[in-house]
Amino acid sequence: MTPSINVVLPLEEVQINEQLRITEEPIEILDREIEQLRRSKFVIKLMQKLIYRRNHREPINRCILNWR
């Protein structure tokens, strides 16, 4: 069975350039831990993404799960 993951992005965070390509922004990994759940392992990466709004930076915390 394949897990179903729904992803919701705030509209103000999506930026598309003139060539209709998504611009990637650098992120900083704040912490990393590995947990065992039944037979699957996953890595939790807590990240902080700096987003420029109104001439200043606002830190946004994110959690990304990478399945192995």
Q: Where are the alpha helices (DSSP H) in 6-57?
A: none
- Tell me how far apart the alpha carbons of residues 44 and 25 are, in angstroms, rounded to a whole number: 20
pTM: 0.18
> pLDDT class for 37, splitting at 50, 70, 90?
low
pLDDT at residue 50 is higher than 60: no
Q: Which residues of 10-35 are buried (b: 16+ CB within 10 A; e: fewer)?
A: eeeeeeeeeeeeeeeeeeeeeeeeee
Q: Average pLDDT over the chain, rounded to whole?
A: 59
pLDDT confidence band for 12 (50 / 70 / 90): confident
